[in-house]
């Protein structure tokens, strides 16, 4: 049985709160390229789930038929911007309610993660 002190939970909770603030700071920098407005201001973020250093972002686009190039750009920016945050090692993006959601999710979530590549070198 593992016993945690209340102080340990308070510290953990504080760390998650600080990480959440950093994440939303980065998300607020991402703009919809068609209308030049922050995705946070547009309320496109549905949920942000933080599990240790792994982050999952559920979002939707401005319409189900938002131009695919803009959808890819927004989702790739979410992925790439959040990987720059200290304390985030992996990001999964899940866009929904878009005619190309599956393709966008596959491409973005399979894009390179610089924090997972080049960690070991073989001679």
**Local confidence band at 14 (pLDDT 50, 70, 90 cut-offs):** confident
Instruction: Say which residue the tokens 């973005």 belong to.
Output: 108
Domain that holds residue 104: 6-109
User: Residue 23 is part of a domain; what is its CATH number?
Assistant: 3.30.300.130
Tokens coding 74? 């927004």
Whether residue 1 is contained in a domain is answered as no
The pTM of the full predicted model, rounded to 2 decimals, is 0.85
pLDDT tens-place string over residues 25-71 = 999 999 999 999 999 999 999 999 999 999 999 999 999 999 999 99
Question: Beta-carbon neighbour count of residue 55 at 10 Å?
Answer: 24
Burial of 95 (0-12, 13-18, 19+ CB in 10 A): buried
Whether residue 92 is contained in a domain is answered as yes
Number of compact structural domains in the chain:
1
Whether residue 78 is contained in a domain is answered as yes
């Amino acid at each position: 049985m593992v016993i945690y002190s209340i102080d340990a939970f308070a510290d953990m909770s504080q760390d998650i709160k600080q990480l959440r603030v950093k994440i939303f700071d980065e998300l607020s920098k991402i703009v919809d390229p068609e209308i030049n407005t922050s995705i946070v201001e547009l309320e496109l973020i549905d949920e942000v789930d933080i599990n240790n250093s792994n982050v999952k972002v559920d979002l939707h686009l401005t319409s189900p038929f938002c131009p695919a190039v803009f959808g890819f750009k927004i989702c790739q920016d979410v992925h790439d911007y959040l990987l720059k945050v200290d304390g985030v090692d992996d990001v999964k993006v899940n866009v929904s309610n878009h005619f190309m959601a599956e393709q966008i999710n596959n491409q973005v979530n399979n894009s390179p993660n610089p924090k997972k590549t080049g960690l070991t070198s073989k001679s």
